[in-house]
A and B are shown apart, each in its own frame.
Chain A
């Protein structure tokens, strides 16, 4: 059941991305190019998404459980740290270079051919490298 609903929400997410214009790096880079011919389109994507998701998150926080009464798996970390900001900065650099973030890159794998394979393949490799490094550094810390 959880698997079926996840697949459904993944598909809805993908359809949303396809419709939104996020899959075209020209739109993304046009949004990020504040000094050029600024294209505000992506503000509408985030605005539309948050307009729907915000009430859902407030409802979930109030209930502290899913609609079926099961526990929520929300991030527990609070407070800002260098890891959060540094990671976001590295992501921003990659996003600004290619105009693709993880969701659109994965949808593009389905139809955009070799450029999408190169980007998504490198992204998956970077994901594994970072996960391995984070695990190694956590293990080193716990040994101290």
Chain B
């Protein structure tokens, strides 16, 4: 299957899950928000169930033979730790991530989510420009 078609189907499933959680449970499928509220023990077993479903799919994929993509398997642990910390802090301060702002927020026609999505996309692209182009150009 063409990778673009695969991405479109995968995206549509993400949309189905976001639509379902909204229309059936009345909740926003924002992963960082669900994680943050679960981690601070806010009442609501549904959050743990959602996270279990998400991680459970990863476990099932592993049992079916899926392994880490090369770019992740070869990543520097210090870089992963710093990046993970920034993602955790930034998504809580900014009240959302790619799912909450980028999928649900934009689908809800929220100006806040549009501004947040434009900001994290622009900063991420600028970061990649620095690490992939500028920093490499300086290397001896």
CB-based contact B39/A128 at 8 Å: yes
Given the interface pairs A36-B133, A48-B15, A106-B55, the reply to whether A25 lies near B72 with Cβ below 8 Å is: yes
Q: Which of A19-56 contact B (CB under 8 A)?
A: 19-26, 29, 32-36, 40-42, 44-56
Q: Cα distance A54–B81 when bound, in Å?
A: 34
CB-based contact B123/A92 at 8 Å: yes
CB-based contact B125/A32 at 8 Å: yes
Give the residues in chain A near B98, CB-CB below 8 Å: 95, 101-103
Residue in B57, B60, B70, B123 whose beta carbon sits within 8 Å of that of A96 in the complex: B123
CB-based contact A111/B54 at 8 Å: no
Q: Cα distance A112–B69 when bound, in Å?
A: 8
The minimal Cβ–Cβ distance linking A119 to chain B, given in whole angstroms, is 4
CB-based contact A111/B21 at 8 Å: no
How many contacting A-B pairs (Cβ < 8 A)?
A: 476
Chain A binding surface SS class: helix
Give the size of the chain A interface in residues (CB under 8 angstroms).
113
CB-based contact B79/A97 at 8 Å: yes
Given the interface pairs A77-B95, A85-B115, A101-B97, the reply to whether A41 lies near B89 with Cβ below 8 Å is: no
CB-based contact B104/A86 at 8 Å: no
Given the interface pairs A13-B54, A134-B92, the reply to whether A116 lies near B72 with Cβ below 8 Å is: yes
Q: Cα distance A12–B54 when bound, in Å?
A: 8
Beyond A78-B111, A111-B67, A130-B36: 19 further Cβ-contacts under 8 Å?
Answer: A5-B21, A5-B25, A12-B16, A26-B71, A53-B103, A57-B22, A75-B105, A87-B91, A88-B90, A89-B123, A91-B91, A102-B99, A110-B59, A115-B75, A121-B81, A122-B83, A123-B84, A127-B89, A131-B40
Give residues in A with beta carbon < 8 Å to B: 2-26, 29, 32-36, 40-42, 44-57, 59-61, 65-68, 70-75, 77-80, 83-103, 105-116, 118-131, 134
A and B contact pairs by CB, cutoff 8 A, 13 listed? A44-B4, A57-B108, A79-B112, A84-B94, A89-B119, A96-B131, A100-B72, A101-B97, A103-B97, A110-B60, A118-B81, A126-B90, A128-B39
